[in-house]
Structure 1
Amino acid sequence: MLGGGGGPLDDDALDHRPAVLPSRPSAHPEANAPVVRTEGGGGVLDSKARRLWPRRGRWINYRVVRVNAEVSHLVVDGRHIEVPWHGRCVVGWAGRRPKEVAVLTHDGRQLDQVALMPAR
Structure 2
Amino acid sequence: MTNADLLPVTVAGSCCTPLTRETLTVEDAESMALAFKALSDPTRLRLISIVAASDGAEACVCDLTEPIGLSQPTVSHHLKILMDAGYLTRSKRGTWAYYKLIPGALERVSQLLKTT
Q: TM-score range by the shorter chain?
A: under 0.3
Larger strand fraction of residues = 1
Q: If the length of structure 1 is used for normalisation, what is the TM-score?
A: 0.23
Q: If the length of structure 2 is used for normalisation, what is the TM-score?
A: 0.24
> Which structure exhibits the higher relative contact order, with contacts defined as CA atoms closer than 8 Å and separated by 6 or more residues?
2
- Larger Rg over CA atoms: 2
